[in-house]
């Protein structure tokens, strides 16, 4: 029987989670948390599908409606403004109500947005909007829906994994995004060629709704609520928590988000500004790699789609490695140095590969180098998400929402700035700027002390 935690429409934070009973008391620890992490990866993959689909189908849309590069940049930017502006509200809601309902509502929202893209031209005619404006409004709405995903998944990781596992778990979260990005270009290109770009968006909507069903069938807000998590696994996740205990949840729900302490923390400012730079560089790969492969490297649609998968495959592979590497270093040198060194390594290698790849004329060498640059960017990125939990374990969704707001403002700037630089100064210059911003991300992260929570830092003065 489903508990009250499964009621999407319950509004009282003190009633949304009823502690589960009937936990298995086997001496061997269950590993259900890793199934939940697998579902987090799936959610992130479907999120990537519904975000990246326009980058691939956009070439066909651009031709059908006679949009130029600048207009496509505006459509890309519309998603990012919706995504950025609603990170903090969604993060706050998730910390108060839990990720189960928050992520459910989010996936329903962006799944609807994907479906509406297919009828955008008809909506434009019926409302009197231009087709361009219709696309912009729908993508803004889609961005609003997707805004809850990253804060919500961070909240799941904070609840379901131990401190020694959170770097690797955060890497799995980022890997899901990379996995979705790997599969999306070929899938969307194939669907667009055979059935048209509208059908490709309808399929994206269907995948989002299927993921909602999987999420609701398996997840709870807290591991101690789930009947398939035994006492031994709970002891591995949170040693002070006993099966069936509701104390931790009630204590957290009674607290308010310490926004003043967050905004007074040097670590928080280092984190969010560094992530703003990461977002600028990341959205160059996300929005423009396919266009770059077609327009600069001269590849055909399916060739370009296959190459566009390469950066995301690199992200999927290197993101968990970056989290694992950081966790290992943290056990030896402390969490502050572990996170910083991993970010320095990832961003430094990423910047070098991006510069070298963008200036090479041999496409079969240049594109793999740029793809690896994206992978090393995500080698570092898993540590940003883990640091949200390190700094604010009880309010990780709110802090990650704040961080992702700044990151996607960087992405929105990147969407327009990269188009402008590419048109007026060439793609090499546009990618050089992205590499420089990548270096800035690593340097700014130096201010992050992941070894102390903001509460601890506040008490020590």
DSSP labels, 191-254: HHHHH-HHHHHHHHHHHHHHHHHHHHHH--SSGGG-TT--HHHHHHH-TT--TT--HHHHHHHT
Q: pLDDT digit string (tens) for 322-331?
A: 999 999 999 8
Report the distance separating Cα 438 and Cα 72, nearest Å.
Answer: 24
Query: Count of domains in the chain?
Result: 1
| Residue 13 maps to a domain | no
Classify residue 14: in a domain, yes or no: no
pLDDT, one tens digit per residue, over 31-84 is 899 999 999 999 999 999 998 899 888 888 888 888 887 888 888 888 878 888
**CATH number of the domain where residue 277 is located:** 1.20.1250.20
Q: Give the number of other Cβ atoms within 10 Å of residue 28's Cβ.
A: 9
Whole-prediction pTM: 0.77
Question: If 0-12 CB within 10 Å is exposed, 13-18 middle and 19+ buried, where does residue 156 land?
Answer: buried
Phi, psi angles (nearest 5°) of residue 451: -80, -10
Q: Is residue 363 part of a domain?
A: yes
Is residue 242 assigned to a domain? yes
Distance CA 97, CA 95 (A): 6
Distance from C-alpha of 233 to C-alpha of 116, rounded to nearest angstrom? 43
**Residue ranges making up the domain that contains 205:** 23-460
Q: Is residue 199 part of a domain?
A: yes
The predicted model gives 290-311 an average pLDDT of 80
pLDDT tens-place string over residues 223-237: 888 889 888 888 888
CA 170 from chain centre, in angstroms, equals: 10
User: 255: pLDDT confidence band, cut at 50, 70 and 90?
Assistant: low
Q: Flag whether 17 is in a domain.
A: no
Q: How many Cα atoms sit within 13 Å of 276 on the Cβ side?
A: 13
In a domain, 1, yes or no: no
- The reply to whether 201 falls in a domain is yes
Which percentage of the chain shows pLDDT scores above 90? 45
Give me the mean pLDDT over the 389-402 stretch: 90
């Amino acid at each position: 029987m489903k508990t009250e935690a499964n009621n999407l429409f319950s509004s009282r934070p003190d009633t949304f989670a009823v502690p589960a009973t009937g936990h298995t008391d086997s001496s061997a620890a269950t590993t259900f948390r890793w199934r939940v992490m697998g579902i987090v990866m799936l959610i992130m993959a479907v999120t990537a599908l519904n975000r990246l689909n326009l980058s691939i189908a956009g070439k066909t849309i651009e031709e059908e409606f006679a949009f130029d590069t600048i207009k496509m940049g505006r459509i890309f930017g519309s998603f990012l403004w919706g995504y950025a502006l609603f990170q903090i509200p969604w993060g706050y809601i998730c910390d108060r109500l839990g990720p189960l309902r928050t992520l459910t509502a989010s996936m329903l929202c962006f799944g609807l947005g994907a479906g509406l893209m297919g009828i955008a031209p008809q909506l434009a005619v019926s409302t009197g909007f231009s087709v361009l404006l219709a696309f912009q409004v729908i993508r803004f709405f889609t961005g609003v829906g997707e805004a809850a995903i990253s804060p919500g998944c961070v909240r799941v990781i904070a609840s379901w994994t131990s401190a020694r596992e959170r770097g690797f778990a955060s890497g799995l979260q980022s890997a899901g995004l990379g996995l979705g990005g790997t599969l999306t270009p070929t899938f969307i290109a194939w669907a667009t060629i055979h059935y048209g770009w509208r059908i490709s968006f309808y399929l994206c909507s269907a995948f989002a709704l299927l993921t909602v069903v999987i999420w609701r069938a398996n997840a709870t807000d807290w591991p101690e609520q789930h009947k398939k998590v035994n006492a031994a696994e709970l002891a591995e996740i949170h040693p002070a928590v006993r099966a069936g205990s509701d104390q931790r949840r009630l204590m957290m729900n009674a607290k308010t988000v310490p926004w003043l302490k967050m905004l007074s923390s040097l670590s928080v400012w280092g984190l969010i500004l560094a992530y703003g730079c990461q977002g600028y560089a990341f959205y160059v790969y996300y929005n423009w790699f396919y266009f770059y492969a077609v327009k600069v490297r001269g590849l055909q649609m399916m060739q370009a789609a296959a190459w566009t998968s390469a950066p995301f495959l690199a992200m999927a592979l290197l993101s968990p490695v970056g989290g694992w590497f950081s966790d290992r270093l943290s056990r030896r040198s402390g969490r502050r140095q572990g996170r910083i060194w991993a970010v320095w390594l990832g961003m430094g290698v990423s910047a070098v590969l991006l510069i070298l790849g963008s200036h090479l004329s041999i496409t079969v060498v240049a594109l793999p180098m740029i793809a690896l640059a994206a992978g090393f960017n995500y080698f570092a990125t898993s540590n940003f998400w883990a640091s949200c939990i390190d700094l604010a374990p009880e309010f990780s969704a709110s802090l990650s929402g704040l961080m992702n707001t700044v990151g996607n403002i960087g992405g929105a700037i990147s969407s327009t700035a990269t188009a402008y630089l590419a048109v007026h100064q060439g793609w090499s210059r546009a990618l050089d700027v992205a590499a420089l911003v990548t270096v800035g991300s690593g340097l700014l992260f130096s201010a992050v002390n992941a070894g102390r929570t903001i509460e601890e830092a506040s008490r020590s003065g």
